């Protein structure tokens, strides 16, 4: 195979349908053989005819989940960050920006009258 891409959905569906048909044809052969085989084999073929539909459905519903490879995931490298040590009582106040000054401006009409 040249590429790592998965096959088309229709090709996978076609494979699953073929697998189901082959299993059900084998079941039909078990039913027919029941009339021609004597003894214990008759019971074995009967059990096959009974349990093969379950197996056929399981195989037909099984999607192709194989991982076809590709690049290995990159492991992050740890970074040693030096954080400044702060005292427990030290408070760092932010510097006012132009946006903060506009936010602190009075917006209510009564507040503007009081400010004037």
Q: HEC profile for 26-53?
A: HHHHHHHHHCCCCCHHHHHHHHHHHHHH
Looking at residue 28, what is its pLDDT? 92
Greater confidence (116 vs 84) lies with 84
Looking at residue 66, what is its pLDDT? 60
Looking at residue 105, what is its pLDDT? 56
- Band of residue 108 on the pLDDT scale cut at 50, 70, 90: low
Q: Whole-prediction pTM value?
A: 0.47
Those residues whose C-beta lies under 8 Å from the C-beta of residue 108, and which sit 6 or more positions away, are none
- Band of residue 96 on the pLDDT scale cut at 50, 70, 90: confident
Ranges of each domain in the chain = 9-61
Asked whether the predicted pLDDT for residue 67 surpasses 60, the reply is no
Q: List, for residues 18-66, the tens digit of each pLDDT value.
A: 888 888 899 999 989 999 988 898 998 899 889 888 888 887 777 666 6
């Amino acid at each position: 195979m040249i590429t790592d891409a998965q096959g088309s959905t229709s090709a996978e569906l076609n494979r699953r349908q073929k697998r189901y048909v082959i299993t059900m044809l084998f079941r039909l052969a078990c039913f027919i053989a029941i009339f021609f085989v004597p003894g214990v084999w008759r019971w074995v073929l009967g059990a096959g005819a009974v349990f093969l539909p379950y197996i056929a459905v399981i195989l037909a519903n099984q999607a192709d989940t194989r991982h076809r490879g590709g690049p290995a995931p990159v492991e992050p490298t740890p970074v040693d960050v030096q954080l400044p040590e702060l005292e427990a009582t030290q408070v760092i106040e932010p510097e006012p920006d132009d946006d903060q000054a506009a936010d602190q401006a009075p917006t209510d009409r009564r507040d503007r009258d009081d400010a004037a």
